[in-house]
Chains A and B, each alone.
Chain A
Amino acid sequence: MMTADTLTSQQQAQEARRRAFVARMREISRRIFTYALMSFIGFLFLFPIIFMVVAAFKPNDRVIADLSSFAALLPNFETFTLDNVNDVFSRVSFDQYMFNSLFLTLVTVIVGLFVNSMAAYVLARMRWVGRAVILSLVVSLIIIPLEAIAVPLMMMVNNMGPFVNLVVLFILIVITLMGWNVIWNAVASMTENLSRTLPLPVHFALQVVLTILLTLPLTVLIYFMIGQIEKGGTWLNSYHVQILPFIAEPFSIFLFYQFFINIPKDFDEAAYVDGADNFRIYWQIIVPISRPVFATVAILKFLQFWSFYLWPLMVTREDTYRPLMVGMDFFQTQAPIRWGSIMAYAAMVTIPVLITFLLFQKWFVQSVSSSGVKG
């Protein structure tokens, strides 16, 4: 009896162990399968990018010769060369394009953040006559895509009347003055610690220099605009034609609005009762607690304007004002077609953005997922 019992319990234990083993094997094989599937999908997503980067640093004749094997996707350090990169620089003004793209994107995004968030503040946290009308107008403007108004907009900017020119210039100057104010104060608080060690005039000079430097893009823009207005009515072929129409954007205002409207009233009530003016409340209370939505809008707009193609294609005629994407479009059809150089161009545009993405990927993913939350 005893032996039989032990046998059964032994058998039971064995059976249980066997089952656990099977379950574990099943789990492991399921995992292996999952990882294999996901790696394969990952390969499908990565191979064009890998190919581009590898081909960019290969001698041009190897680019096509390697295609028949996996060598197309493998970096070869023996044949590493910068010929393609040099070829790009010698045939097109890549540095000019790069500067243009950076300048246009940064100014549009940063000024857009400022202008759109202020508009959203006015809509979300102030009561005024006509607020509801403007709000519904802004929201309904979201569905009008740029593509739908591109043609009449091109017609319009080609022949800007003096009145519209003055209005736009005035808006730009107002934005710049507010920007000066903000940056002046920000620089002051940044250099506050320094001011104890520095003599007052030096501190003041530092503040002036930093403010001028930080608002330089806007000042340059105003300078260019005045020059263009003097030359004649057309805005075509300039920086401001690629910036000003896109500073105010309904979707950005909407994203800011959604965030601001959910901030509890007691955050700014006290300041309001104390008589703090609205700009102060906006800048010192609302903006600091709204960092996530600022990051969201900044990243979405950055991706949008970095790859902006349709409008710059329509309004630029010279290399001086062309951004990278339009330059790429012309470069890829410019004889002689050297695929190595084209891939080098593509890689030089993509790698900086990919690195930025890898560094801030949490923010990127967050901004995309919060763009989908619709109230």
Chain B
Amino acid sequence: MRLFFQNNLTGRKGRDLLAVLVMGGPAFLLLAIFMIWPFILGIDLSTTNQRFDGAQASDIGTRNYERILGVGIGGLPPKPEVFPDSRPGVGWYLDNQGKADFRWRTRGIDDLDEIWEGLENWRGYEVMSVFSIGSNEYAIFARDPLFWRSLRNNLAFAAFVVPVQTALALMLAILINQKLPGMNVFRTIYFSPVVTAMVIVAVVWAFLYNPRFGLINQMLGVLSIGPFDWLQHPASALPAIMIMSIWQGVGFQMVIFLAGLQDIPEDLYEAASIDGAGVVHKFRYVTLPMLRNTTIFVVLTTTILAFRLFDQINVMTPDGGPASSTATMVWYAIRRGWRESEIGYASAISVVFVVIVLMISLVQRVFVKSESALD
């Protein structure tokens, strides 16, 4: 026993091993307990109907995933010549404005297949949206429309915020990078929203967006634009949150671009000047290529942040906004898992979320690889 310790823990190698365990052990163990284990647990829980309140859970296989991902397009029955006087359980009717509307309520209707052939496959689904090709009417059916709406909102958020925020950040960085006195002051000003916590920003902007008293409508009113309902209208709620998120986050990206700009050697610009390049050409053929890595990094982090969107949503529109126009995947997972305590279902949403985030990271890997292959 003594020999064992002497060899293993008092010798150089033994002491090194002890150091690895004592110095690295806490971090690695904590990561295993609080990241890897919940991650595995989440995959495990996603195949159950576990509830937070401790009700007996049972294994339900892939049913959660089927519910989340269940989506399809189906033809709708033709519009009748004479619409029914009252709203039917399933079928076309005329709404108050006299517009033809399709109503879908599968619950409690057993003889669905007798009403219209072809619709019986969509039992348990909801109609997400109706569109027409030619004279035929089609509908997108989904078993959990809110998930798809959340995913769509995340995609819309990323599609707008990522390019706009990246372009703005680059523009601000170029402005700040000019060799003029006082640029530090502007850098400080543009960066100050970044150090303001998102929850605080969201609360302040919720007031600024107020349709009646909000400062933003008042200021736009001076330019005789608006007034808008901002957070109260399905069409403007998500754009409102996008604008605010860009306002809060662009300073961060700007500073990263600024570091990238300052790394570009001055002689590249001088060489370009000698070749007779103007400002536009210098930007196109010197600045942009030299900022390639920085841009990939900024685009990737902004995209992932767009998919992680939660704080603003939950503070400004706790119930997902008008017509769930601001619901996001994380918001939805937290709502199902925490508020409605459906742990199993929420875990399945989280797994889908992780897969999406992983795919984005892989796409970025491919970009970086192709770039290093070019070199």
- Residue A369 at the B interface, CB < 8 A? yes
- Residue A42 at the B interface, CB < 8 A? yes
CB-CB contacts below 8 Å: B52-98 with A: 52
| Contact (Cβ within 8 A) B192 A46 | yes
| Contact (Cβ within 8 A) A143 B357 | yes
- Residue A328 at the B interface, CB < 8 A? yes
Among residues of A, the one whose C-beta sits closest to the C-beta of B185 is A42
Chain B residues whose CB sits within 8 angstroms of the CB of A158 once the complex forms: 52
- Residue A100 at the B interface, CB < 8 A? no
| Contact (Cβ within 8 A) B207 A47 | no
In the bound complex, CA of A35 to CA of B306 (Å): 32
* Chain-B contact segment, one of A48-56, A86-94, A194-202: A48-56
Chain B residues whose CB sits within 8 angstroms of the CB of A37 once the complex forms: 175
In the bound complex, CA of A156 to CA of B34 (Å): 9
- Residue B315 at the A interface, CB < 8 A? yes
- Residue B271 at the A interface, CB < 8 A? no
Q: How far is the CB of A253 from chain B (nearest CB, A)?
A: 6
Q: A228-247 toward B: CB 8 Å interface, digit per residue (1/0)?
A: 00000000000000001111
In the bound complex, CA of A35 to CA of B251 (Å): 18
- Residue B235 at the A interface, CB < 8 A? no
Chain B residues whose CB sits within 8 angstroms of the CB of A282 once the complex forms: 23
Size class of B's contact patch? 35 or more
Q: How far is the CB of A358 from chain B (nearest CB, A)?
A: 7
CB-CB contacts below 8 Å: B14-40 with A: 15-17, 19-20, 22-31, 33-39
- Residue A365 at the B interface, CB < 8 A? yes
Chain A residues whose CB sits within 8 angstroms of the CB of B146 once the complex forms: none
| Contact (Cβ within 8 A) A48 B208 | yes
- Residue B161 at the A interface, CB < 8 A? no
* Chain-A contact segment, one of B1-9, B125-133, B281-289, B346-354: B346-354
- Which 9 A-B pairs give the minimum distances between C-beta atoms? A307-B197, A119-B27, A369-B259, A122-B24, A278-B19, A151-B337, A152-B42, A248-B30, A372-B256
Mark B residues whose CB is within 8 Å of A: 12, 15-17, 19-20, 22-31, 33-39, 41-42, 45, 50, 52, 172, 175, 178, 180, 182, 186-201, 203-208, 213-215, 218, 247, 251-252, 255-256, 258-260, 293-294, 297-298, 304, 308, 310-311, 314-315, 318, 330, 333-334, 337-338, 343, 346-347, 350-351, 353-354, 357-358, 361
Extra contacts, 5 of them, besides A45-B192, A369-B259 (Cβ < 8 A), are: A49-B193, A126-B20, A148-B351, A307-B198, A372-B298
